[in-house]
Amino acid sequence: MGVQAEGHLVQAGKPQAMTSFLTILEAAGGLPSDQDGKTLVTLLSETAGDSALLLTQIEQRQSSVTVSIENQSFSGVFNWLRLLSIKHDVIIGQATMTYFDSDRVNARIELNFTQ
């Protein structure tokens, strides 16, 4: 999984490295957060896991986050986006999905908290 912050992609080989990197960004005030103090990156990672989706890449750019999803269920991605919108005030800035098998998609989705 990779994380991109301010236009720089950081590959994290271990979840520990990812957590350390995000902790540094959060401490520096570099990531927007919701009313519960969760950053968008954390929220997306947690809710994707709860929805059984695998995010193959996460890119942080200023206040937006772009996620890449490969070979996942379209209905799973749709339901995850709906959950983010309704329960967490997340908006979709842009989305590109490529449908390739009976319910499978690759997607690149830009997300942000509502202001």
Residue corresponding to tokens 């989305």: 95
CATH of the domain at 15: 3.30.1360.100
Residue 68 CB burial class (10 angstroms; 0-12, 13-18, ≥19): middle
Mean pLDDT of 50-71: 95
**Confidence band, pLDDT 50/70/90 cuts, at residue 74:** very high
How many domains does one find in the chain? 1
* Contacts made by residues 79-86, CB under 8 angstroms, sequence distance 24+: 79/51, 80/47, 80/48, 80/51, 80/53, 81/109, 83/47, 83/51, 84/43, 84/44, 84/47, 84/111
**Distance of alpha carbon 37 from alpha carbon 42, whole angstroms:** 10
The reported pTM is: 0.71
Supply the pLDDT for residue 107.
97
Supply the pLDDT for residue 62.
84
**Distance of alpha carbon 68 from alpha carbon 109, whole angstroms:** 7
- The 10s digit of each residue's pLDDT in 10-41 is 333 334 444 444 554 555 455 556 666 789 99
Element (H, E) at 94: strand 90-101
Lowest mean pLDDT among 2-6, 101-105, 110-114: 2-6
| Residue 65 in this model has a pLDDT that exceeds 50 | yes
Lowest mean pLDDT among 25-29, 45-49, 72-76, 93-97: 25-29
Domain range for 104 is 2-113
